């Protein structure tokens, strides 16, 4: 005796409701992945800008240390541009070298960081034996941010 098993037509395949539910679940997952991807892009951009600011501040700190006799001339507000001097082919005084360093540094800031970025230098002449201090400050605002980001390096001479 053979038993015949009949398939009911209602039991074959998936229903429209099942397929729509699966589509919604997959869509929500894909939106989550896209959100995480965008967040990682923003974090990468932020990290890159921070590295640029650190490099620029460290570079200026090295220039100040190299021109220790002219350290008192390393003063600049956010709007100062410095002066271009030809110290590569001519002999420059410590003051001229400081002005040229500020000019080059400000130009590098405008190229490496967003348009609203600026750099400031503040020199403090302390009485001996306390060392003189020069503060190097780089400020920028990341696209889409409401507050400025700042990196500060301190050079003791």
The DSSP result for 13-43, as a single string, is: S--HHHHHHHHHHHHHHHHHHHHHHHHHHHH
What tokens appear for 132 in the block? 């003189």
- Is residue 64 in some structural domain? yes
Torsions phi, psi for 154 (to 5 deg): -115, 130
Report how far residue 103's alpha carbon sits from residue 119's, in angstroms, rounded to the nearest whole number.
11
- Is residue 31 in some structural domain? no
Domain count along the chain: 1
Report how far residue 21's alpha carbon sits from residue 19's, in angstroms, rounded to the nearest whole number.
5
Answer whether 0.75 is exceeded by the pTM. yes
**What residue numbers bound the domain in which 87 lies?**
48-156
- pLDDT of the chain along its 157 residues, tens only? 566 666 555 566 678 888 899 999 999 999 999 999 999 999 999 999 999 999 999 999 999 999 989 999 999 998 888 888 888 788 889 999 999 999 999 999 999 999 889 999 999 988 889 899 999 999 999 888 889 999 999 999 8
- Is residue 28 in some structural domain? no
pLDDT at 86: 84
The answer to whether the beta carbons of residues 113 and 140 sit under 8 Å apart is: yes
- Is residue 34 in some structural domain? no
- Is residue 149 in some structural domain? yes
- Is residue 14 in some structural domain? no
């Amino acid at each position: 005796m053979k038993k015949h098993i009949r398939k009911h037509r209602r039991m074959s395949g998936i229903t429209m409701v099942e397929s729509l539910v699966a589509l919604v679940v997959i869509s929500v997952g894909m939106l989550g992945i896209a959100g995480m991807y965008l967040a990682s892009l923003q974090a990468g951009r932020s990290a890159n800008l921070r590295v640029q600011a650190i490099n620029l501040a460290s570079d200026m700190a090295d220039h100040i240390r190299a021109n220790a006799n002219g350290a008192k001339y390393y003063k600049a507000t956010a709007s100062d541009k410095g002066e271009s001097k030809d110290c590569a082919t001519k002999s420059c005084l410590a003051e001229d070298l400081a002005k040229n360093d500020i000019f080059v540094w400000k130009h590098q800031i405008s190229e490496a960081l967003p348009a609203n970025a600026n750099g400031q230098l503040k020199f403090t002449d302390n009485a001996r034996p306390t060392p003189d201090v020069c503060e190097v400050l780089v400020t920028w605002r990341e696209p889409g941010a409401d507050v400025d980001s700042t990196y500060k390096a301190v050079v003791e001479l």
